[in-house]
Every structure is written in C-alpha cells, then in structure tokens.
C-alpha cells in the first residue's frame, strides 16, 4: 500500500514508519525536521510544520496515498493546537486529492472531554473501572486539560470529515517493545487497561487498514 505518515519522527509516528516499511509499504513521511530521520529510512520525505501548514503544503504528501496515518499530538505546552490544526489541514488536502482512508491517534479520556461538536459528552467512559473512573482519569484530565481539549477538537474534525476514518484511543503510553498482544474495544476504553506501548498502538493503527469494520469507529486499545 501507499501510506502517508504524519509526525513520522514522533513517539508513535516513528513506530508507524518503521513497521510500515518493514511490512513492505511505500511510505511518505511528513516531518518538521528531516534530520531526525535515520539515514536508512527508505521513505519519501515531505517537510512540513503541521502546527502551521495548510492544505496546499500537504497536497503533494497525500496525493496517490491509499491511507494517511497520523501520530499528531502536542509535546509540551508550546505544541498545543497542533493536533487540531494539522489534522484539519490534512483532511482538506485529502479531500482535494481524493484520498479517503484516515487513521488517527487520540487518547483514552477524550470520550468524556467537551468539544465544540460535543459540548455535553458522557461523564464517564463505560469501559472504566472504579479506580480509573474516580481517581486516575480525573487527575490526568486536570493535568493535561489543554492537551486533551486539542485532541477533542481534532476528533471533531475527523468525525465531521466525511472520510473513511478510524480514531484510536490509547491510555498511558510506554516505550516497551512491540508485542502484538493488546486488547481493543469499539467505542470505549478497556477495563484494567492503564497502559499500552507506542509500538503496539502503531501496530493497531496499521492493522486497522486491513479491517474494514474499523471504518467510522472509535477504537480503544490497551494491554
């Protein structure tokens, strides 16, 4: 397949890039700083700052792609807004180029975070156990309030795009190696699933490209 990977040097993006190339896909990597890529990445590289790029700058990156996979997310306070802006730009570029399939990474708590399109979300996620529901999730949502608001607005863009989308919502991310041994659930988080590796999230995103039942679905993923 011809794939475009956004934020290909990020925590999840680098795993998307590596796993896609190992699987034999033809990959275009969209990155702000190409110097962060390995010299032997074997991917076509498009340089773009997704915090400010418009659809015209991304049109060439998505042209002819079978799917676009996004690892976009803010790193630190300075990056807040990149998820919404970069996703909006790539969605517009995909529409212009006639590309349909989009898979993005979000975060487990986003189903309960208000957004312009969902000002009154459910108070709790149906997949959460008592400790996660009443202790851990409230704390994390307070600490990462601005980051989650950005991801919630990003999800608004995706869900309203009219594209063949899948949103993947992981809990706390780790740098453990790829296991391929993770759980998934449609439309909710996983009970007892407090962590998942970035490598396994990337695997889940790539696997969804072969699973038409994931189109138009939100997918929880966890160990």
30 has a pLDDT exceeding 70: yes
136 has a pLDDT exceeding 70: no
* CATH numeric code, 2-222: 3.40.50.720
Dihedral sign, Cα of residue 177, residue 183, residue 187, residue 189? negative
170 has a pLDDT exceeding 70: yes
For the residues 28-38, what does the mean pLDDT come to? 90
**Pick the residue with more confidence: 219 or 147?**
219
Lowest mean pLDDT among 27-41, 51-65, 87-101, 205-219: 27-41
171 has a pLDDT exceeding 80: yes
Name the burial class of residue 162, with classes exposed (0-12), middle (13-18) and buried (19+) by CB atoms within 10 angstroms of its CB.
exposed
CA 128-6-154 angle, to 5 degrees, is: 45
For the residues 131-138, what does the mean pLDDT come to? 67
**Residue 148, H or E segment:** helix 145-159
Domains of the chain, by residue range, sit at: 2-222
Phi, psi (deg, nearest 5) at residue 67:
-160, 155
58 has a pLDDT exceeding 80: yes
In the predicted model, what is the mean pLDDT of the chain? 92
pLDDT of the residue at 94: 98
CA 170-174-176 angle, to 5 degrees, is: 120
Model confidence band, residue 138 (pLDDT cutoffs 50, 70, 90):
confident
39 has a pLDDT exceeding 80: no
Lowest mean pLDDT among 128-132, 147-151, 177-181: 128-132
The Cα 69–Cα 125 span in angstroms is 25
Model confidence band, residue 166 (pLDDT cutoffs 50, 70, 90):
very high
């Amino acid at each position: 397949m011809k794939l475009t990977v956004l934020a290909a040097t990020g925590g999840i993006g680098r795993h998307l890039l590596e796993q896609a190339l190992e699987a034999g896909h033809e990959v275009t990597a969209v990155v702000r700083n190409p110097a962060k890529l390995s010299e032997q990445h074997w991917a076509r590289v498009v340089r773009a700052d997704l915090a400010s790029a418009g659809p015209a700058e991304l049109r060439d990156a998505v042209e002819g792609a079978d799917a676009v996979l996004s690892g976009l997310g803010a790193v630190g306070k300075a990056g807040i807004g990149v998820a919404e802006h970069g996703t909006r730009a790539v969605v517009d570029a995909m529409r212009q180029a006639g590309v349909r399939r989009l898979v993005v990474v979000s975060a487990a708590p986003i189903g309960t975070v208000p957004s312009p399109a969902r000002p009154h979300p459910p108070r709790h996620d149906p997949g959460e156990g008592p400790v996660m529901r009443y202790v851990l999730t409230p704390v994390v949502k307070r600490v990462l309030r601005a980051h989650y608001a950005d991801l919630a607005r990003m999800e608004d863009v995706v869900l309203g795009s009219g594209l063949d989308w899948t949103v993947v919502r992981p809990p706390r991310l780790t740098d453990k190696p790829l296991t391929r041994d993770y759980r998934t659930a449609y439309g909710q988080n996983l009970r007892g699933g407090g962590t998942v590796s970035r490598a396994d999230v990337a695997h889940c995103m790539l696997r969804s490209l072969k699973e038409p039942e994931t189109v138009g679905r939100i997918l929880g993923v966890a160990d």
